[in-house]
Amino acid sequence: MNKILLSLLFTVSLFGAELNWIHNYNKGLALAKKEHKDVYLFIGADACRYCKKFKETTLSKKYVMNKLNADFVPIYLSRDQHKIPDKFERYGAPRHYFLTSDGKIYDEDVGYMSPKRFLSLLKEVKSFK
């Protein structure tokens, strides 16, 4: 079973090697409606060491990028650079929100996650809908 999983991850990692981040909440929702996808909203901060670690060790993995791009419209908002709607917490970064295309929050989490844990979370939140 492990060999099959590793083989699948290797195959998936060959395609789609970057995240298509949107840095505007309303534009991200509009794209999600158009593409019939949910939204992954990542709220971070410029000087947040755990945000940086999450980006470098988790979001840099091709299989994580592929899963995010396939199932979600990814939005990244820095509390230091972008307008963050009031309904979202700005502190305690990194923050992870999973939304419908009309902005309804159906799951949220906080903190750094390893690639394995984050991938597990992505699969879990899809089952909530």
Q: Which domains does the chain have, with CATH numbers?
A: 16-127 (3.40.30.10)
pTM: 0.83
Query: Which string of DSSP letters, residue by residue, matches 54-83?
Result: HHHHTTTSHHHHHHHHHHEEEEEEETTTS-
pLDDT in tens, the chain (129 residues): 444 433 334 334 334 458 889 999 999 999 999 999 999 999 999 999 999 999 999 999 999 999 999 999 999 999 999 999 999 988 889 999 999 999 999 999 999 999 999 999 998 998 876
User: Which stretch of DSSP H or E encloses residue 108?
Assistant: strand 105-110
Longest dimension (CA), the chain: 45
